Amino acid sequence: MIVITGAAGFIGSVMAGELNNKGRNDLVLVDDFSKREKERNFINLKYDALVARNDFFTWFKDNHVDVDFVVHLGARTDTTEFDWNVFQELNVDYTKTIFSLCADYQIPMVYASSAATYGDGELGYDDSHEVVERLQPLNPYGRSKNEVDKWILKQEKQPPFWAGLKFFNVYGPNEYHKGRMASVIFHSFNQINATGKVKLFRSHRPDFADGQQLRDFIYVKDIASVIYFMICQQVNKSTSQRVKSGLYNLGTGKARSFYDLAANTFRAMGKDVDIEFIDIPEDIRDKYQYFTEANMMKLREAGYDKEFTSLEDGVMDYVKNHLMLLL
């Protein structure tokens, strides 16, 4: 069996769907399944069991002999949440417990870290272990992910394989429930549909023009592809090359502007580009990243050789084959 935590959420549900597509239906989905707005993400998935988030550790202790791999994607991901206790419980302590159990039972795992650990990017975006202790995330969410990374790197007892995946700006289907934290593409689509225009943040720095803030946008289907690659490396015992345990960036390696993202959304909808610029809210202005770009060398050297989806192709697929179907 393969365990997926956060399976009713954005990335977790896409990951479960990818495994179903590959013929793996022996899944155990872990989440808080009481939230009705997430039902559409898992209602059509094939799985062996649904396990409530608060019951998972007991379930794991009773059933670990049947588990082949753990994909830990469950977390509080709201970058505007500033109550550290929330992140301590759901992100830090929960992940530490899963890691420790996987080490005890010798079960391979991946978990979601984040590019938010890099803070303002002063130290770059290299997934080297040497830089982790010096990173200064800009918000409690990023700090929670970095605290986990730091702790795991210090553990003597480890699973046979683990990978902390530093997700950059992920977009794609099944993020419908995320509200303010959904991708700019999702919000752009809804704004265009309602008003015919898109509002983007203007720049509050002289070295960036309005709308030219840069992010490494990665399509969620590429995230699922990379995780599936890592699962196969561990579960398929005949594979000669194995990915080494460690932290891995997961972006495309190519930063693109928010203007490009919005413009491609207009094009996918068959509409003329009409963009309005607004101030960045003051509560996040001093924590706003103006540039992120993943150094993808480590993952490439580990053997992942598939091309990442271009922004143009990803937006087109997301809009045409998912968002338009919601209208």
Return the SS3 of 31.
Answer: strand
Query: Among candidates 74, 67, 65, 20, which has minimal Cα distance to 43?
Result: 20
Name the active-site residue from 94, 111, 125, 141: 141
Residue in 157, 239, 167, 225 with CA at minimum distance from that of residue 15: 225
Question: Looking at this protein, which amino acid is placed at residue 2?
Answer: I
Give yes or no for a contact between 33 and 44, defined as CB atoms under 8 angstroms apart: no
CA distance 293 to 308: 14
CA distance 63 to 155: 24
- Active-site residue, selected from the candidate residues 96, 150, 178, 199: 178
Give which of 145, 73, 112, 68 is closest to 248, Cα–Cα.
112
Structure tokens at 193: 């549909």
Q: How far apart are CA 303 and CA 316, in angstroms?
A: 28
* Whether 178 is catalytic: yes
Which residues on adjacent β-strands are paired with residue 218? 170
Integer Cα distance of 76 and 143 in angstroms? 12
Q: Residue 55's CB: how many other CB atoms inside 10 A?
A: 10
166 has catalytic annotation: no
Phi-psi group of 253: left, alpha or beta (phi > 0 → left; psi -120 to 50 → alpha; rest → beta): left
Please name the residues in contact with 44: beta carbons below 8 A apart, sequence gap of 6 or more. Answer: none
- Which single residue is written with the structure tokens 């607004």? 278
Strand partners, 165: 112, 248
Instruction: Just list the catalytic residues.
Output: 141, 178
